[in-house]
Structure 1
Amino acid sequence: MKFLRILILAFISINDLYAQGTERFELYFSTYNHVEGIDSYKITNEEIVVSVKGLVDEKDNVVYISKMRQDIFEKTKSIKFQSLEDSYFNNCIMATSGSEYFIGFRYGAISKQISLHHYYQKNIANLVELINLSVPEEYHIDYVGEDTQQYCP
């Protein structure tokens, strides 16, 4: 009986280790400004990486890497990305103006891509705040404000 109990506990432990391996968290947040280029932020369980790409550059240049603070990581992971729409578009801003935001998210079997065109969305604003807490001020994301007009005919 004792052997059976040890065998069951070992099986549960192996399953837990396997589940942890498949529950890898990855989040990509990119901003595109029609004048400045692309800034990209990659967040994983371990780190945050910031890279920039000018309008004529062919590859991303990594400008900042840091270990991810656990408290910020847990808050980031708790955002319910799967409940968000795939696309948000601000009809008050021309398509060739404003800022574009792209989010790619994967956590275990869940994945989601979201694009926003100069559009305020509260969950995304919370994400931006968490990212900005994780990087030096020079790499802060300038996200549109809650007062941004976005419902035009």
Structure 2
Amino acid sequence: MLLSKHQCVLKFSLLFLFQFGFGQNGVQEKIKKSDSKFSFGIATFNHAEQIYAGVMTYELTNNNFLIVSKKELLSNKVRVIFKKQLDENILIRLKNIPLQDLQEAYFNKCIMTTSGTEYIISITNGPINKTITLHHYYIREIEQFINEVNNCLSDDMKIRYMTSETKQDCN
């Protein structure tokens, strides 16, 4: 099966982001493995800001919520910039946002492959394991999930996500 130019570039970008945000020496080594039935990871990467901002990774395991920054592309150095125990009510609200029926990848054709913001959301909710990748793409359920996470954060730590007005119907 031949892939289009956009699909190839998107796959490369997502693989790059996944390795950069969730690489071997990234957040996973900072968090002890757990048998938790609910966990999530969100990695964000803006193409234009990457040089300065790098990749921000938001992780929850066993009610421990971490934000980790990785600014240097070729370095394995990560820095925990936020740590908090999440309230059970927040976890219940997050668990109840229906992400299991979403597709695995969404691509906004209105934004060049090398522009915009990439999001990788990885979630375990009971027996369900799901990874969703978005290239500058708006989905209401993702917005709800990110808004719930953002409610725990100060303004400078919040995840910037698309709005329902984000143009994404280009062909």
**By the TM > 0.5 criterion, same fold?**
yes
Q: What TM-score do you get using the length of structure 2 for normalisation?
A: 0.73
**Fraction of identical pairs, as percent:** 33
Kept after mapping to 1: 8 A contact 2:40/2:121? yes
- 1:81 aligns to 2:99 (yes or no): yes
2:139 counterpart (121, 129, 136): 121
1:27 aligns with 2:40: yes
User: 1:52 — aligned with what?
Assistant: 69
For residues 123 and 55 of structure 1, the distance between their equivalents in structure 2, rounded to whole angstroms, comes to 31
- Please state how far the C-alpha of 1:82 moved relative to its aligned partner: 1.2
After superposition, residues 66-145 of structure 1 pair within 5 angstroms as 66-145=84-163
Q: Distance in 1 between matches of 2:55 and 2:145?
A: 18
Cα deviation 1:60-107 (Å, max 9, x = unaligned): 211000010222111101112211110111000000000000001112
TM-score with structure 1 setting the length: 0.81
Aligned pairs, how many?
Answer: 133
Corresponding residue of 1:18 = none
* Aligned residue identity for 2:143: A
Contact 1:69 1:134 in 2 (8 A): no
Query: 1:59 & 1:117 partners in 2: Cα distance?
Result: 25
Q: Deviations over 1:114-148 (max 9, x none)?
A: 00000000000001101111122211011011100
5+ residue gaps, structure 2: 1-33
Question: Is the radius of gyration larger for structure 1 or structure 2?
Answer: 1
